[in-house]
Structure 1
Amino acid sequence: MIFRQAGIYHTSYAQAQKLYPLPADRWMVGALLALALAAPFTFSSLTLNTHLLPWLVWTAAVLGLNLVLGWAGQFHFGYAAIMGMGAYGAIHAARNGIPWEIAMILGGLVASVIGVVFAFAALRVKGLYLALSTLAMQFVMDWVIAHVPAISGGTQATLQAPELKLLGQAITSEAGLYYVALGWCVLVTIFMLNLRRTGLGRALVAVREKDYAAAVIGVHSFYYKLVAFATSSFIGGLSGALLVFTFYRAATPEQFAFNISIELLAMVIVGGLGSIIGSFFGAAFILLMPGFMNGLINGLAKIAGISLSVETLAHIPNAVYGALIIIFLLVEPMGLGKLYANVRNYLMVWPFGYVRK
């Protein structure tokens, strides 16, 4: 099969540490990148703007959340608030004449500072207490965003995002905005792929498994938890800003409310904790599946000649969608990323199944 390892010899540490040692993996990544680059020319404008572009930005945000949840093992129920502060920070910076690139970095830094400030208090506790602490952060930041006019303009206000300018050139085309989102998603993905091969990544995994055992071998758990929160918040803040600049084109408090934090958490869990490819799967499943299920059930009802009320059409897809999440997690509790890994591992030794025993 395509994942055969015959003839692949690791004769150096550099070769053994390659991201994709198997040729099949390299070909698949290359094909996916080529497809992503050709998307503006092969997909419709509707698909590009309403499906692919937001999926890429949300995937980058999920990767950031997976850093603190999957790698460091720390609960986070306030990630949407972090994204919101990054978005508002970048918008205000851009509206004050700061170049777009610097405004985005400032938005990420604002989110990172807020995440670290709350982490100092939250990381003194563990488990459910930590979850409640981050949940409190979400509620606090929701109130601040909605009730401080200097940030959002007020509860019912909509803050228009300035025109996106990259290196001084305005980007208004659909393809241009898509490529900006693609570039950010690829950048975050490369960072996460290399993170697990570094000392920082191994330290985060050690903290996740047993923080006191990590302390025994010299890993300062509190320091690495702060680093995880800061890095994750920076990625989330920048992703939130990019989501507003490329997709929403305006910011409102409702875009970063508590329910968004729950959706982000669901993307991580459904995709798989600590799984990079699972982050892509989880974001696609949570973001795109409801619309697909709505269209599918509506089409099946028309084919069967069944007349469904508007209320029924609004609730049946959600019920089926929720049932699919439960089924996926029952089949593989470690998420869609693990399902993909299971298939890949099976193809590596097929048809010699006895090798896995």
Structure 2
Amino acid sequence: MLFRQSGIFHTNYANARSLFPLPADRWMIGLLLAFALTAPFTMSTLVLSTQLLPWLVWTAAVLGLNLILGWTGQFHFGYAAIMGIGAYTAVHGVRNGIPWEIAMVLGGVMAAVIGIVFAFAALRVKGLYLALSTLALQFVMDWVISHVPAISGGTQATLQAPDISLLGQAITSDTGLYYVALGWCLIVTVFMLNLRRTGLGRALIAVREKDFAAAVIGVHSLYYKLVAFATSSFIGGISGAILIFTFYRAATPEQFAVNVSIELLAMVIVGGLGSIIGSYFGAAFILLMPGLMNSLIGWLAQLLGISLGIETLAHIPHAVYGALIIIFLLVEPMGLGKMYTNLRNYLLVWPFGYARK
């Protein structure tokens, strides 16, 4: 089968620590990269700009939230506010003549500063108390963004995002915007893949498992929680800015409300805590599944000759979609990423079923 380990000899630490030691994994990554790079030439513009592009940006945001939730074990119900801070900072920066690349970094830095404010709640409380604290900060940031005209222009205002100018070249086409989103998603993915192999990644996991025990072995939980919140917020801030510049093309307070934070949390949980590939699966499931369910149920109703009212047709897909989430979590509480891992582990020993645990 594809995932055979024959011929792979762990004779040095470099090979043992490689990201993808199995040839099958490298082939799969290569094929996925080839598909991603050629998608503008093989997919329709509608699919590219309304499905693939937002999926990539939201995946980058989910990876950032997974850093604080999956790696460090800290609840965060205010991630949408962090993304909003980065988005508004970057938009104002570009509108005031700052180059787009620098404005992105400024958005990430401002989000990291706000993220450290969120972190101080994590230093005093845990569990549900931390969740409520971050939720309260989300509402505070919602109010600030909505009611400070210097930030959003007002409660009902819409702040238009200028065109992207990357390295002096204006990017206005759907293909160019897609590649911007793809590039950022790949940067975040590579960072997260390497993070778990570093001392920082192991320290974050130690804090997640038991911060008191981590302190005994010399891991300063205060420092690493601050680093985790700042890094996660930096990723979220830039992701929010790229979402505005490439997809929405305008910023409104509703785009970063508390319901968006809940959706991001659902993406992490459905995909799998601490799972990188699960972040891709979770973002795709939460983002794309409702539209697919609407189309599928409408097609089945037409095929079976069933007449469904507009209200019924609007509610049935959401009920089915919610039921699917419950089924997935009942079958595998660790999310879709764990399902993929289980399938991969099965193929590692197939057809020798007795070797399975």
TM category, shorter: over 0.9
Is the 8 Å Cα contact of residues 121 and 134 (structure 2) preserved in structure 1?
Answer: no
- Name the aligned partner's letter for residue 28 of structure 1: M
How many angstroms does 1:117 deviate by? Answer: 1.7
Is the 8 Å Cα contact of residues 195 and 201 (structure 1) preserved in structure 2?
Answer: yes
Structure 1 partner of 2:12? 12
Structure 1 partner of 2:38? 38
Residues in 1 aligned to 2:37 and 2:25: alpha-carbon distance in whole angstroms: 18
Structure 2 partner of 1:248? 248
Structure 2 partner of 1:50? 50
Is the 8 Å Cα contact of residues 206 and 214 (structure 1) preserved in structure 2?
Answer: yes
The list of structure 1 runs, each at least 4 consecutive aligned residues, that deviate by more than 4 angstroms after superposition, is none
Point out the more displaced range, 9-18 or 118-127: 118-127
Residues in 1 aligned to 2:120 and 2:326: alpha-carbon distance in whole angstroms: 35
Structure 2 partner of 1:119? 119
Q: How is 1:215-254 mapped onto 2 (pairs within 5 angstroms)?
A: 215-254=215-254
How many angstroms does 1:340 deviate by? Answer: 0.3
Residues in 1 aligned to 2:65 and 2:26: alpha-carbon distance in whole angstroms: 26
Structure 2 partner of 1:149? 149
Unaligned runs of 5+ in 1: none
Structure 1 partner of 2:103? 103
How many angstroms does 1:225 deviate by? Answer: 0.6
How many angstroms does 1:118 deviate by? Answer: 2.5
SS at 1:145 equivalent:
helix
Deviations 1:242-300 (A, max 9, x none): 00000000000000000000000000000000000000000000000000000000000
SS at 1:170 equivalent:
strand
Structure 2 partner of 1:92? 92
Is the 8 Å Cα contact of residues 101 and 166 (structure 2) preserved in structure 1?
Answer: yes
Structure 1 partner of 2:197? 197
Is the 8 Å Cα contact of residues 123 and 130 (structure 1) preserved in structure 2?
Answer: no
The answer to whether the aligner puts 1:74 opposite 2:70 as a matched pair is no
Structure 1 partner of 2:206? 206
Residues in 1 aligned to 2:318 and 2:121: alpha-carbon distance in whole angstroms: 37
For the aligned residue pairs, the C-alpha RMSD in angstroms reads 0.6
- Name the aligned partner's letter for residue 278 of structure 1: G
Q: How is 1:180-329 mapped onto 2 (pairs within 5 angstroms)?
A: 180-329=180-329
How many angstroms does 1:92 deviate by? Answer: 0.4
How many angstroms does 1:353 deviate by? Answer: 1.3
Normalised TM-score (structure 2): 0.99
Unaligned runs of 5+ in 2: none
Deviations 1:188-218 (A, max 9, x none): 0000000000000000000000100000000
Normalised TM-score (structure 1): 0.99
Structure 2 partner of 1:28? 28
Residues in 2 aligned to 1:353 and 1:216: alpha-carbon distance in whole angstroms: 42
Count of matched residue positions in the alignment of Structure 1 and Structure 2: 357
Residues in 2 aligned to 1:121 and 1:17: alpha-carbon distance in whole angstroms: 36
Is the 8 Å Cα contact of residues 76 and 134 (structure 2) preserved in structure 1?
Answer: yes
- Name the aligned partner's letter for residue 321 of structure 2: Y
How many angstroms does 1:120 deviate by? Answer: 1.5
Deviations 1:70-128 (A, max 9, x none): 00000000000000000000000000000000000000000000010221234211111
How many angstroms does 1:7 deviate by? Answer: 1.2
- Name the aligned partner's letter for residue 132 of structure 2: L
Residues in 1 aligned to 2:331 and 2:119: alpha-carbon distance in whole angstroms: 35
